[in-house]
A and B are shown apart, each in its own frame.
Chain A
Amino acid sequence: MSYSVVLVDDEPPARAKLQRWLGELVDFRVVAEAGDVAEAIAAVSAVRPDVLYLDIQLGTNSGFDVVEGLRDAEVSPLIVFTTAYSEYAVRAFDVQALDYLLKPFDRDRFLTSIERVRAALVEPDRSDVEERVRRLLAQLPGRASAVQQILVRDAERAYFLSARDIDRIAAAGNYVEVHVAGKVHLIRESLTSFIARLDAAEFLRVHRSHVVRLGFIAELRPMFHGDYELVLRDGQKLPLSRRYKALLPEAIRERL
Chain B
Amino acid sequence: MTTDATASPQLAMNERASAAARPVPPWIVYVACWLLVGLYQGLNASIGESDVATWKPFVWEMSSVLIVMLLVPLVFRFERRFPIDSRPRTRVVIVHVAGLLVFSAVHTTVMLLLRELAYAAMGESYDFGTVPVRYFYELQKDVILYAVILTVCFAMREFRVRRASELRASQLAAEASEARLRQLTAQIEPHFLFNSLNAISNRMHEDVDAADRMISQLGDLLRAAYESDSAVLVPLSRELAWLHNYLAMMAERFRGQLEYDIDVDANVDAVPVPRLLIQPLVENALKHGLAARGGRVSVVVRRKNGDLECAVSDDGAGLADSELGSGTGLANVKRRLELLFPARHALTVAPRTPSGVTVTVRFPIGE
Contacts and interface: CB of A to CB of B under 8 A. Distances in A.
Contacts, number: 59
Contacts of B200: 104
B290 A59 contact: yes
Contacts of B256: 12
Interface string B278-319: 000000000100110100000000000000000000000000
Contact of A14 (B199, B206, B293): B199
Interface string A96-122: 000000111110000000000000000
Q: Number of contact residues on B: which range applies?
A: 20 to 34
Interface stretch (B5-13, B36-44, B97-105, B188-196): B188-196
A253 B202 CA distance: 43
A17 B290 contact: no
Contacts of B252: 13
Given A13-B203, A57-B191, A84 B255 contact: no
Contacts of B90: none
Given A35-B293, A84-B190, A85-B194, A17 B257 contact: no
Contacts of A59: 290-291
Nearest to A16: B202
B255 A104 contact: no
B67 interface: no
A11 B195 CA distance: 8
Contact of B191 (A14, A16, A35, A84): A84
A44 to B, nearest CB: 19
Contacts of A10: 254
A104 B191 contact: no
B223 interface: no
A255 interface: no
Contacts of B193: 84-85
Contacts of A14: 195, 198-199, 202
Nearest to A18: B202
Contacts of B198: 11, 13-14, 17, 84, 103-105
A12 B291 contact: no
A170 B201 CA distance: 47
Interface string B118-161: 00000000000000000000000000000000000000000000
A157 interface: no
A230 to B, nearest CB: 43
Interface in B166-205: 190-191, 193-195, 197-203, 205
B184 to A, nearest CB: 15
Contact of A11 (B199, B205, B206, B287): B199
Contacts of B345: none
B201 A17 contact: yes
A48 to B, nearest CB: 25
B191 A11 contact: no
A103 B253 contact: no
A183 interface: no
Contacts of A84: 190-191, 193-195, 198
A225 interface: no
A103 B287 CA distance: 22
Interface string B235-259: 0000000000000000011111100
A105 B202 CA distance: 10
A10 B290 CA distance: 10
Interface in A1-29: 10-14, 16-17, 20
Contacts of A174: none
A252 to B, nearest CB: 36
Nearest to A87: B190
A60 interface: yes
Contacts of A11: 195, 198-199, 253-254
Given A11-B254, A17-B201, A59-B291, 16 more contacts: A11-B198, A11-B199, A12-B255, A12-B257, A13-B255, A14-B199, A14-B202, A17-B198, A20-B205, A84-B194, A102-B194, A103-B195, A104-B194, A104-B198, A104-B201, A105-B198
13 contacts: A13-B198, A13-B202, A13-B203, A14-B195, A14-B199, A14-B202, A17-B198, A17-B205, A35-B293, A84-B190, A85-B191, A104-B201, A106-B201
